Amino acid sequence: MPPDAEAQAVAVFAALTDTTRRALLEELARAGPATVTDLARRLPISRQAVAKHLGLLAEAGLISAAAPTGRRHPYRLEPTPIRAAQVWLSSLAHRWDDRLAALEAALDNEDSHDNEGALGHEDTLGNEGALGNEDVLGKKGVLGKEDVLDKEEP
């Protein structure tokens, strides 16, 4: 991910840490563009607090001021920063998926090369446990490996 896209994602996450800002975004998503006064009427916060939070949301790029209509200056949602954050999260998720797949492959490889290790044996009841290993309750786990040693080691 390019550094500017990552910086955008960080700004979005920072803006979303506050419950009031999330409520403002939800209100804009629900009812469409609204002014500071409109939002202050709908939410239990002052106009000054709404203006402050809208400024922070605008800095993060999550909202923008629509074209003024007379003295009304409505704010509206901007979807691009949310998409940038979604791309960043997706990239992070794929990296975790890759790491977990590599771990599973390494464990499978270790098991096939060394069946004498602790992860290569059934437990005392002959059942598989939480990581695909057999546990004391006789349940099979996620990775399909056997748990606690049941066999005597040479």
Per the listing, tokens 């800095």 go with 59
DSSP state of 118: G
75: exposed, middle or buried (Cβ count in 10 Å: 0-12, 13-18, 19+): buried
Q: Which phi and psi (to 5°) does residue 114 adopt?
A: -140, 80
Full pLDDT tens readout for the chain, 154 residues: 555 777 888 889 999 999 999 999 999 999 999 999 999 999 999 999 999 999 999 999 999 998 888 889 999 999 888 888 888 788 888 777 787 888 888 888 887 766 544 454 444 444 444 444 444 444 444 444 444 444 444 4
pTM: 0.58
